[in-house]
Structure 1
């Protein structure tokens, strides 16, 4: 579910979408940040970002013809992306005062 806009209001004439109405009331009750955690919105955003990275770096389609070949190709591509992410992630260092 896409988060409702900040100015979204519950419809007076009747529900346009029950999910939208529920999201608006939940955002009002919990707050936008907490609603995103409760609804799993951050997980959805991470997943969409992962697919964007995969498609932009690896490509939109698989090249292998067989089912087994496509499985291997997808696994290798995921390993490559995970390795690239690990190499680019900074190591945290504790600084004492």
Structure 2
């Protein structure tokens, strides 16, 4: 029997598991998430609460979070969402919503067949997207 390499415990980071950007809604606006993001050297795109105040600088991830609070105060929440790329999160959520409409659960039991089932669902979604995209033309 061959031994498989397993990932380390949660919170451990290796160079091959580096994360570029983490985005999420307000539920991810916690000290623990910011600390985990800082340990992985990932950028965080999470809106702070409307009543958010700057954190003490000695906390992990506080600098990035405080910069977000300052940017929202300068730009306003709506403009910050566009400027930071936060609005892209809703596109991912919409894609997952469409995928779930094809069924919440997988029918296959074997992992290889589960992968095939997900790939088929993605192919169906891609086909629907291509068929449903409007042709836009400029009007004079």
Q: 2:120 — aligned with what?
A: 76
Distance 2:66 2:104 in 1: 35
CA RMSD of aligned residues (A): 2.5
Higher helix fraction: Structure 1 or Structure 2? Answer: 1
Q: 2:81 — aligned with what?
A: 36
Q: 1:8 — aligned with what?
A: 51
Q: 2:3 — aligned with what?
A: none
Distance 1:60 1:48 in 2: 15
- Write out per-residue CA displacement over residues 33-69 of structure 1, whole angstroms, 9 at most, x where no aligned residue: 33113433122111111111111x2111111121211
User: What TM-score, normalized by structure 2, do the two folds share?
Assistant: 0.52
Say how many residue pairs are matched: 91
Q: 1:45 — aligned with what?
A: 90
Distance 1:40 1:64 in 2: 36
Distance 1:38 1:75 in 2: 33
SS in 2 for 1:73: helix
Q: Is the 8 A contact 1:9 1:24 kept in 2?
A: yes
Q: 2:102 — aligned with what?
A: 58
Higher strand fraction: Structure 1 or Structure 2? Answer: 2
Q: Is the 8 A contact 1:54 1:81 kept in 2?
A: yes
Distance 2:67 2:138 in 1: 43
| Unmatched segments (≥5 aa) in structure 2 | 1-23, 26-46, 57-61
- Write out per-residue CA displacement over residues 11-46 of structure 1, whole angstroms, 9 at most, x where no aligned residue: 7xx66xx47654332211223233113433122111
| Unmatched segments (≥5 aa) in structure 1 | none
